[in-house]
């Protein structure tokens, strides 16, 4: 296996929250319902959503930042162990296949008003 791409992104949490408030439907355009809700059915907090947004931006960078990727073709989910993972479909899966990506590594964080993510594409 070799590294095909690496992406990193940060999102200012307050700015992201303001964007969500100002733009109705933005959250639904960026995230799948499974990303918007916690396992309990409660709505996920804005810091967590900002980290997921950063992961999607980092994912695009790891793929070479091509145009035409759909936000909802990348899902950030958490395994029972608490480890974040990526599931790709559609436009994102197609680009990953062209590059030979076979697995993903993702790390999320949020602290001091900033959410961040790193994505590594491996093939």
Q: Is the Cα dihedral 16, 108, 34, 104 positive or negative?
A: positive
Give helix 13-22 / helix 46-62 axis angle, nearest 10°.
100
Both tokens of residue 59? 């994912």
Consult the annotation and say whether 57 binds a ligand: yes
Number of residues written out for the chain? 123
Q: Phi and psi dihedrals of 78, rounded to 5?
A: -120, 130
Q: Determine whether the annotation assigns residue 9 to a binding site.
A: yes
Contact, 85 vs 76, CB < 8 A?
Answer: yes
Q: Give the integer Cα–Cα distance in Å for 35 and 7.
A: 20
Residues annotated in the binding site for Mg(2+), as ranges? 9, 57
Residues annotated in the binding site, as ranges? 9, 57
């Amino acid at each position: 296996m070799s590294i095909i791409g690496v992406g990193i992104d940060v999102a200012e949490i307050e700015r992201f929250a303001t964007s969500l408030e100002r733009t109705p439907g933005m959250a639904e355009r960026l995230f799948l319902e499974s990303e918007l809700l916690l396992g309990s059915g409660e709505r996920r907090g804005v810091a967590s959503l900002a980290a997921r947004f950063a992961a999607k931006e980092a994912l695009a960078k790891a793929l070479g930042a091509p145009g035409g990727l759909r936000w909802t073709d990348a899902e950030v989910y958490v395994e029972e162990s608490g480890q974040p993972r990526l599931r790709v479909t559609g436009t994102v899966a197609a680009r990953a296949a062209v590059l030979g990506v076979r697995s993903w590594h993702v790390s999320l964080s949020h602290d001091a008003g900033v959410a961040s993510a790193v994505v590594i594409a491996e093939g």
